[in-house]
């Protein structure tokens, strides 16, 4: 399971010209699910995402996590994160989870995040338009 997290001052996701999820300060989480992933991996990744210290403290150092700043998360499914790009000029998606497994783990991840911080979402499998103001920019690739 892969989470590409971006520290944002705001972010939103739109489907068919309608905003379906949006947040103010917090983390935009682009989530990729691989075929070997499980609820246990999802729980580990949730803990890592919610506790990763990417927000500035009083001294300007990245010492605070999204929970400590009373931030929010916007979780957007992104199967392309599971792509293998090692060979050729076309990505392979053979490591990606089946749509059923990916959707189940996506919703499980959101549920677990929502138990700790306000969580918004995109629409699994939809053609989405994601807007954000990346704060920093600060972007990290996390795996479980």
Query: pTM above 0.85?
Result: yes
Q: What would the DSSP string read from start to end of 1-17?
A: -EEEEEEEEEEEEEETT
The CA distance from 130 to 36, in Å, is 27
80 is an active site residue: yes
Is residue 139 very low, low, confident or very high in pLDDT (cuts 50, 70, 90)? very high
- Domains of the chain and any CATH numbers: 2-143 (3.50.80.10)
Catalytic position from the list 80, 85, 121, 143: 80
Tens-digit pLDDT profile for residues 45-86: 999 999 999 999 999 999 999 999 999 999 999 999 999 999
Write out pLDDT tens, residues 86-108: 999 999 999 999 999 999 999 99
């Amino acid at each position: 399971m892969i989470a590409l997290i971006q520290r944002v001052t705001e972010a939103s996701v739109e489907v068919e010209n309608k905003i379906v999820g949006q947040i103010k300060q917090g983390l935009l989480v682009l989530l990729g699910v691989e075929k070997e992933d499980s609820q246990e991996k999802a729980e580990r990744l949730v803990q890592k995402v919610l506790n990763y210290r990417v927000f500035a403290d009083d001294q300007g150092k990245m010492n605070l996590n999204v929970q400590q700043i009373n931030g929010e998360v916007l979780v957007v499914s992104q199967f392309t994160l599971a792509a293998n790009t090692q060979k050729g000029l076309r990505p392979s998606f053979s490591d990606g989870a089946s749509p059923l497994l990916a959707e189940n783990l996506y919703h499980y991840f959101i549920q677990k995040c929502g138990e700790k911080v306000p969580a918004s979402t995109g629409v699994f499998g939809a053609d989405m338009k994601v807007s954000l103001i990346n704060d920093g920019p600060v972007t990290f690739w996390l795996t479980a």
